[in-house]
């Protein structure tokens, strides 16, 4: 397997090299391919291969972004210079002809820049990880293993610049500094943009009262900052999957809003040099400049800098006092207070776009942060979701040898979280078998259902009658899907290996602040097996139990089409005692929602992105009952105050239902204790088959065959 992967990599690099020589692909590097290869090398403890591939991946990422931004920028300018046919028609015709000229230019530019790779699509989660500096999370450990301690410190600093609250990385940084005898002044952020580097030089010169050098570096940094701001906006003009089929005008409006939301983030994203957003970063240029110019006797430029600062922040007390001072200087006249035109233009654009977004969010309720793609690098979340596949960020542990040799009893939760880094990237690297081989592992739908009939009967699985069945053919409650021992093992597995807020981008309480939320995906479970933290039997148990639930649902509802897993999530919700005394009845453990559409207050359910429109059936398998509250409810009332029926969780009880608005549902507050379950979502569409599940199955097969 490893030999095949190495051959593929060598072949790929040879092709890339040939394209370079031919002039079509230039310096093209498929950074996603190289990134996954680097992670695979990391898992195999091939530290040299890890560094080589991830460094190449980072180079390719920068190269791709630079060329993309350049093409979009140049084509926008080129199109403005074109002589239009629509000289005597309305502005709409002129606009769309301009778009056509830009499109033609983009096609040519991308063909020249990217060659045969111009249509390559990189998965959104990979793009997100590069923006979050995840490659440096791997590099810091791989560098350390190669005794490149200074490089490890630099990589750790790069992660901390984006994740300043990453305690494990901070601890690793302290270790690197002590181990290598490195001074903090010698540690650099490897991803600091050129404008940031110039800004730091300017501030250092300012501290030394070298105002000539301060002006030189600050003006250079300002120009670079404004260029980077424009590049950031051009990179926002990325592909957007509508996921439905709107009218022409609606389609344009959707894509425009998608790019606008991304562009609205550029200014504050670029205002983060040291791991914290500085709301006054752009104005700070003119604070340094006004004083430096004044010290050099260039009063007009000092006044221009004060005016520019106040144009951005008119209520700043210090700069208003500075203006009063300059007013007292004899040579100063009011015509000197003219803000820089490029900053005025930027401010006007930002103000207009802020008003435009307010209009959109006021008049289009489905375009809120919770319901819309935030940018092209992150998965959008449906209100009330409990199983997004994006896991929270944790960090590669500095030394895993003691962890792997230890026992579950002595490994605390923090250490576990430190070891297990992002699920997607690690799981994706566990195997490079083609999809066709994975699909061969899946038996035919009919034969699989028949083979499960006997085993389900032997378990004593039986449907439970109740009020949820009234006039409903698409709901079920069944008991006996797991044994008491299986429930205990699965519950302890979640409590041991789960991450707080798993799947919710670091939010520890994604549904209510009155409860702590912990989750574990199949990917994370696979990583724990790979690291030696749990026995492979635990992962086999998860697959076996969830397969059993899927099989029962297919059989109970007499489905003629196979169900594929879309996502599997093991979760626990724990009541916070200090929050119970004033908890509102409206503060549900899980708000009312539907699983494949966006539920509206009017009762309408929009089956449009970012809803998981491909879901057909959903299920929850309960693992315990030693808690208070937490009943599952079917309801048409979005508040959850009234409901059609409720289900009391207990070990082995399965709730299954079709995923549409006919089965809107929620969870009542967990008042005391911890409620654990397994959420499962199914689809008839094979292309949405859960990748982590396929890889976990293949991983187990390779383990059993002693191939890894």
Residues 152-174 as b/e (b if ≥16 CB within 10 A, e otherwise) read: bbbbbbbbbbbbeebebbbebbe
- Asked whether residue 546 carries a pLDDT value surpassing 60, the answer given is yes
Residues 616-642 as b/e (b if ≥16 CB within 10 A, e otherwise) read: bbbbbbbbbbebebbbbbbbeebebee
Contact 19, 29 (CB under 8 A): no
Contact 678, 570 (CB under 8 A): yes
Give CA–CA dist 580/574, Å, rounded: 12
Best-predicted range by mean pLDDT (149-153, 633-637, 700-704):
149-153
Q: Phi/psi class of residue 497: alpha, beta or left (left: φ > 0; alpha: ψ in -120 to 50)?
A: alpha
Q: How many Cβ atoms are within 10 Å of 330's Cβ, its own excluded?
A: 6
pLDDT given for residue 28 in this prediction: 52
Which residues, 6+ apart, have CB-to-CB distance to 39 below 8 Å? 50, 54, 138, 425, 426, 428, 429
- DSSP, collapsed to helix, strand or coil, labels residue 565 as strand
Contact 283, 290 (CB under 8 A): no
Q: How many Cβ atoms are within 10 Å of 513's Cβ, its own excluded?
A: 12
Residues 111-132 as b/e (b if ≥16 CB within 10 A, e otherwise) read: eebbbebbeeebebbbbbbbeb
Nearest Cα residue to 224 out of 193, 191, 190, 181? 193
Which residues, 6+ apart, have CB-to-CB distance to 14 below 8 Å? none
- Asked whether residue 263 carries a pLDDT value surpassing 50, the answer given is yes
| Token pair belonging to 667 | 């969870």
Q: What are phi and psi of 475, to 5 degrees?
A: -135, 150
Q: Compute the average pLDDT of residues 259-277.
A: 86
Q: Compute the average pLDDT of residues 140-153.
A: 92
Give CA–CA dist 307/286, Å, rounded: 9
Give CA–CA dist 436/239, Å, rounded: 28
- Cα separation values, 541 from 288, 483, 485, 538, 625, Å: 63, 11, 11, 5, 20
Q: pLDDT higher for 118 or 313?
A: 313
Q: Compute the average pLDDT of residues 660-674.
A: 92
For 1-35, how does the pLDDT look when each residue is reduced to its tens digit (9 = 90+)? Answer: 334 344 434 444 443 443 443 334 444 568 888 99
- Asked whether residue 364 carries a pLDDT value surpassing 60, the answer given is yes
Q: Compute the average pLDDT of residues 629-651.
A: 87
Q: Compute the average pLDDT of residues 560-568.
A: 92
- Quote the pTM value: 0.51
Which residues, 6+ apart, have CB-to-CB distance to 583 below 8 Å? 514, 669, 671
- DSSP, collapsed to helix, strand or coil, labels residue 338 as coil
Q: What are phi and psi of 638, to 5 degrees?
A: -65, -20
Of all residues in the chain, the percent with pLDDT exceeding 70 is: 78
pLDDT given for residue 132 in this prediction: 87
Contact 161, 189 (CB under 8 A): yes
- Asked whether residue 104 carries a pLDDT value surpassing 60, the answer given is yes
The per-residue pLDDT of the chain, averaged, comes to 78
Give CA–CA dist 603/243, Å, rounded: 22
- DSSP, collapsed to helix, strand or coil, labels residue 75 as helix
Q: SS3 string of 578-646?
A: HHHHHCCCCCCCEEEECCCCEECCCCCEECCCCCCCCCCEEEEEECCCCCEECCEEECCCCCCCCCCEE
What number of helices (H) and strands (E) belong to the chain? 25, 16
- Cα separation values, 382 from 159, 592, 599, Å: 29, 11, 9
Instruction: Report whether the peptide linkage leading into residue 562 is cis, meaning its omega lies within 30 degrees of zero.
Output: no
pLDDT given for residue 240 in this prediction: 75
Among 123-132, 265-274, 363-372, the least confident range: 363-372
- Cα separation values, 656 from 388, 441, 567, 681, Å: 19, 26, 15, 10
What one-character DSSP code corresponds to residue 437?
H
Among 69-73, 176-180, 229-233, 243-247, the least confident range: 243-247
* Residue 34, burial from CB neighbour count under 10 angstroms (0-12, 13-18, 19+): buried
Of all residues in the chain, the percent with pLDDT exceeding 90 is: 39
Maximum distance among all Cα pairs of the chain, rounded to whole angstroms: 98
List the strands of the sheet with 665-667, edge to edge: 590-593, 665-667, 632-634, 645-647
pLDDT given for residue 502 in this prediction: 64
- Asked whether residue 386 carries a pLDDT value surpassing 60, the answer given is no
Contact 99, 248 (CB under 8 A): no
Q: Compute the average pLDDT of residues 554-581.
A: 89
DSSP track, 79-110: HHTSPPS-TTS-HHHHHHHHHHHHHHHHHHHH
Q: How many Cβ atoms are within 10 Å of 196's Cβ, its own excluded?
A: 20
- Asked whether residue 425 carries a pLDDT value surpassing 80, the answer given is no
Distance of CA 412 to the CA centre of its chain: 27
DSSP E strands: which ranges in 369-463?
A: 462-463
| Token pair belonging to 489 | 């093992």
Give CA–CA dist 687/565, Å, rounded: 11
Give CA–CA dist 140/162, Å, rounded: 15
Residue 236: CA atoms inside 13 Å, Cβ hemisphere, count? 23
Confidence category of residue 395, pLDDT binned at 50, 70, 90: very low
Among 351-365, 413-427, 674-688, the least confident range: 413-427
Q: pLDDT higher for 128 or 14?
A: 128
Confidence category of residue 509, pLDDT binned at 50, 70, 90: low
Q: Compute the average pLDDT of residues 324-350.
A: 94
Contact 293, 302 (CB under 8 A): yes
Beta bridge partners, 142, equal none
Give CA–CA dist 336/307, Å, rounded: 9
């Amino acid at each position: 397997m490893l030999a095949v992967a190495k051959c593929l990599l060598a072949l790929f690099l040879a092709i890339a090299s040939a394209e370079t020589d031919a002039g079509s692909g230039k310096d093209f590097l498929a950074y996603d391919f190289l990134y996954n290869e680097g992670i695979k090398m990391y898992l195999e403890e091939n530290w040299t291969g890890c560094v080589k591939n991830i460094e190449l991946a980072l180079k390719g990422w920068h190269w791709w972004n630079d060329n993309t931004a350049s093409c979009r920028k140049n084509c926008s300018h080129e199109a403005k210079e074109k002589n239009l046919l629509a000289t005597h028609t309305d502005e709409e015709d002129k606009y769309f002809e301009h778009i056509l000229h830009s499109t033609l230019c983009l096609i040519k530019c991308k063909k020249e820049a990217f060659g045969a790779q111009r249509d390559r699509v990189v998965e959104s989660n990979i793009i997100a990880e590069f923006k979050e500096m995840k490659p440096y999370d791997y590099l810091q450990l791989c560098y350390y293993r190669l005794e490149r301690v200074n490089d490890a410190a630099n990589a750790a600093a790069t992660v901390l610049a984006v994740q300043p609250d990453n305690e494990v990385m901070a601890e690793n940084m302290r270790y690197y500094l002590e181990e290598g005898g490195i001074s903090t002044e010698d540690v650099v952020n490897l991803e600091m943009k050129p404008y940031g580097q110039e800004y730091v030089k300017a501030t250092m010169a300012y501290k030394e009262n070298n105002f000539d050098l301060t002006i030189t570096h600050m003006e250079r940094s300002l120009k670079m900052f404004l260029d980077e701001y424009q590049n950031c906006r051009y990179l926002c003009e990325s592909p957007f999957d509508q996921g439905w089929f709107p009218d022409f005008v609606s389609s344009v409006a959707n894509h425009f809003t998608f790019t606008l939301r991304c562009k609205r983030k550029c200014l504050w994203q670029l205002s983060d040099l040291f791991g914290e957003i500085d709301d006054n970063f752009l104005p700070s240029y003119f604070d340094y400049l006004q004083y430096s110019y004044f010290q050099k006797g260039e009063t007009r430029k000092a006044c221009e800098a004060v005016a520019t600062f106040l144009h951005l922040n008119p209520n700043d007390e210090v700069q208003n006092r500075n203006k009063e001072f300059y007013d007292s200087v004899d040579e100063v006249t009011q015509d000197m207070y003219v803000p820089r035109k490029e900053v005025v233009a930027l401010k006007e654009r930002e103000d207009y776009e802020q008003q435009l977004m307010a209009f959109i969010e006021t008049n289009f309720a489905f375009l809120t942060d919770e319901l819309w793609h935030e940018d092209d690098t992150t998965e959008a979340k449906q209100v009330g979701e409990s199983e997004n596949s994006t896991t929270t960020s944790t960090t590669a542990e500095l030394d895993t040898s003691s962890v792997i040799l230890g026992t579950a009893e002595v490994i605390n939760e923090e250490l576990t979280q430190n070891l297990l880094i992002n699920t997607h990237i690690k799981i994706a690297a566990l195997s490079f078998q083609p999809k066709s081989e994975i699909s061969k592992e899946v038996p035919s739908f009919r034969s699989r259902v028949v083979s499960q009939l006997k085993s389900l009967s032997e378990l004593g699985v039986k449907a439970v009658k109740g009020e949820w069945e009234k006039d409903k053919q698409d709901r079920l409650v069944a008991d006996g899907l797991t044994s008491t021992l299986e429930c205990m093992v699965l519950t302890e597995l979640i409590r041991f290996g789960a991450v707080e807020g798993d799947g919710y981008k670091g939010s520890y309480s994604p549904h209510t602040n009155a409860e702590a939320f912990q989750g574990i995906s199949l990917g994370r479970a696979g990583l724990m097996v790979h690291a030696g933290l749990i026995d492979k039997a635990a992962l086999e148990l998860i697959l076996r139990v969830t397969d059993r639930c899927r099989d029962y649902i297919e059989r109970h509802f007499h489905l003629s089409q196979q169900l594929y897993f879309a996502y599997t999530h093991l979760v626990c919700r724990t009541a916070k005692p200090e929050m119970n005394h004033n908890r509102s009845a409206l503060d549900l453990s899980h708000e009312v929602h539907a699983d494949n559409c966006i539920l509206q207050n009017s009762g309408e359910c929009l089956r449009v992105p970012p809803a998981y429109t491909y879901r057909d059936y959903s299920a929850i398998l309960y693992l315990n009952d030693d808690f208070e509250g937490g009943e599952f409810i079917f309801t048409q009332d979005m508040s959850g105050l009234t409901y059609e029926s409720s289900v009391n969780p207990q070990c082995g009880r399965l709730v299954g239902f079709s995923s549409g608005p006919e089965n809107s549902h929620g969870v009542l507050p967990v008042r005391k204790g911890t409620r654990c379950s397994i959420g499962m979502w199914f689809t008839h569409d094979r292309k949405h088959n859960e990748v982590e599940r396929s890889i976990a199955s293949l991983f187990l097969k390779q383990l059993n065959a002693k191939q890894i």
